[in-house]
Amino acid sequence: MRALVLDRPGPLAGAPLHLRDVADPDATPGELVLRVTACAVCRTDLQIVTGDLAPHRSPVVPGHQVVGVVEQAGEGVRGWATGDRAGVTWLAGFDGTCGFCRSGRENLCEAATFTGWDRDGGYAERMTVGADVTVRIPKGFDDLAAAPLLCGGVIGYRALRLTGLEPAQPGVRLGLYGFGASALQAIQVARLWGWDVHVASRSAADLERAERFGAGSVGGYDHPPPHPLDGAVTFAPVGRVVVAALRALDRGGTVVVNAIHLDGIPAFDYDDLWWERSIRSVANVTRRDAQDYLDLAARIPIVTETEVHPLADGNDVLGRVERGEIAGAAVLVPG
């Protein structure tokens, strides 16, 4: 089969991903082999490929927003059959025995592993995945529309929950800082819950898109919203944006940082944090996050915006992600 392989991280100008023939995978006990039909590109892929995130395995095939069809089930697998459509998320494995796992927080397990970082991901024609972390794709989504749900959508949903705000809570004012593929889905959930949404971005096109999706107000990162926010989620991997969101909060509000890597948070006045404001990170996703979000996405239904590229264009697509040129989500397809 063909796969885009990262031998060692490096600048995208050097085309660090190499399309090559590799051995077809086999399912070990508890695993599925999927024929990949679509893999959405995530900023985390960019950070792995360029080395912002230190390598966990070399070589490795990136990609963790994967839709595929089951071709083989390993020994002991129950509930999956050849031909089933399946989804793969960032979470690839966990020990199942620690306190975090026993309390349904396997995203915090110290032994957790991640797709496209610790094990080969979906920038390939086929891949293996643990059956216990594989999710079912709702029938209402085709493969291209479903792929961006599996990381950007799920992690955005978890971030909304971590604000501490309640669905249908009257008068909620939420800020979204950055408006890429993840925030595009988050605003649809927030509007379903009846929240008023302020979107901040440096891109005029993103702000126009946010208004089309129901934002009550828009502005630049340092532009104060019309009213103090009850909560905010930052999507841009830039520390100063976290501070801007913090300064926009009302008393008692929370900024959730939806990023696995930041360039550093600059110093800020304690007055910006005073009055029980808080900053917290969102780390990875749980299996329940994934299935709950996919079920919710089907009910709304969530609209995703995608542009489709052949697998061979992976380096170029990541370059466009780096430059902020992707509207919505880029999706790589084999073949």
Q: Give mean pLDDT, residues 111-136.
A: 98
Q: Is residue 335 over pLDDT 90?
A: no
- Locate the domains of the chain by residue range: 2-150+304-333, 154-281
Task: For residues 4 and 21, give the distance between their C-alpha atoms in angstroms, rounded to a whole number.
Answer: 9
Return the CATH class of domain 2-150+304-333: alpha beta
Longest CA span, the chain: 58
Q: Is residue 26 over pLDDT 90?
A: yes
Nearest to 70 by CA among 8, 21, 114, 135: 135
| pLDDT score, position 327 | 83
- pLDDT confidence tier of residue 160, bands split at 50, 70 and 90: very high
Task: For residues 144 and 141, give the distance between their C-alpha atoms in angstroms, rounded to a whole number.
Answer: 8
Kindly report the average pLDDT of the chain as a whole number.
97
Fold classification of 154-281 is Rossmann fold (3.40.50)
| Residue-wise DSSP of 50-62 | HTSS--SSSSB--
Percent of the chain at pLDDT exceeding 70: 100
Task: For residues 94 and 132, give the distance between their C-alpha atoms in angstroms, rounded to a whole number.
Answer: 10
Task: For residues 25 and 43, give the distance between their C-alpha atoms in angstroms, rounded to a whole number.
Answer: 26
The tokens of 285 are what? 């996703």
| pLDDT score, position 73 | 97
| pLDDT score, position 162 | 98
Q: Give mean pLDDT, residues 250-274.
A: 95
> pTM, whole model, 2 decimals?
0.95
| Residue-wise DSSP of 123-184 | SBSEEEEEGGG-EEPPTTS-HHHHGGGGTHHHHHHHHHHHTTPPTT-TT-EEEEES-SHHHH
| Positive or negative torsion for Cα 146, 152, 158, 164 | negative
CA 330 → CA 12, 94, 225, 308, distances in Å? 17, 28, 30, 6
Q: Give mean pLDDT, residues 160-167.
A: 97
- pLDDT confidence tier of residue 206, bands split at 50, 70 and 90: very high
| Positive or negative torsion for Cα 29, 35, 37, 39 | positive
Phi, psi of 200 (to 5 degrees): -115, 135
- pLDDT tens by residue, 269-309: 999 999 999 999 999 999 999 999 999 999 999 999 999 99
Task: For residues 79 and 157, give the distance between their C-alpha atoms in angstroms, rounded to a whole number.
Answer: 26
Q: Is residue 328 over pLDDT 90?
A: no
